[in-house]
């Protein structure tokens, strides 16, 4: 019952944003203005989904890729279970933008898709300062 209520509130929140918050942002020819609108919408969705437990990302700043997934983001769980996170998270992790507390798990999780464990371990060592032998 509580899960249905939570899901209902999330859906209602997304609908509210779609129906009432978006119309005030009429399309503009200005690309920076449109980017600002998109960032505002993404932040609103994150603010709704994260407290509801529907957005568990492995990055310092939550990804936007998983916003299109009805189920939300489970990249944190994926990493902890040695599964590769979404493509945006993989890219950001390899740039050094992942959650530093999850860094020991990144190489194994990403290698699940790439098959390049040793290469991933060296990248994680370089970006996060975690020696290969300390990676899980």
CA distance 30 to 122: 42
CA distance 83 to 69: 17
**Sign of the CA dihedral running 79, 82, 115, 74:** negative
Spans of all domains in the chain: 1-54, 56-136
pLDDT of residue 71: 84
CA distance 91 to 61: 13
pLDDT of residue 124: 97
CA distance 44 to 58: 19
CA distance 23 to 17: 9
Per-residue confidence in pLDDT tens, the chain, 136 aa: 566 556 656 655 665 566 566 555 555 568 888 899 999 999 999 999 999 999 999 999 999 999 988 789 999 999 999 999 999 999 999 999 999 999 999 999 999 999 999 999 999 999 999 999 999 9
pLDDT of residue 60: 94
Residue length, the chain? 136
pLDDT of residue 55: 95
């Amino acid at each position: 019952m509580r899960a249905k209520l939570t899901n209902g509130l999330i859906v209602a929140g997304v609908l509210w944003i779609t129906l009432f918050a978006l119309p005030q942002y009429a399309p503009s020819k200005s690309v920076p203005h449109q980017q600002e609108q998109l960032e505002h919408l993404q932040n609103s969705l994150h603010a709704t989904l994260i407290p509801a437990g529907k957005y568990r990302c492995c990055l310092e700043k939550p990804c936007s890729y998983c916003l299109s997934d009805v189920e939300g983001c489970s990249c944190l769980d994926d990493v902890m279970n040695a599964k590769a996170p979404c493509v945006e998270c993989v890219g950001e992790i390899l740039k050094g933008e992942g959650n530093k507390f999850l860094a020991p798990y990144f190489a194994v999780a990403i290698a699940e898709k790439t098959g390049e464990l040793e290469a991933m371990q060296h990248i994680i060592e370089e970006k996060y300062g975690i020696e290969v032998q300390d990676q899980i």
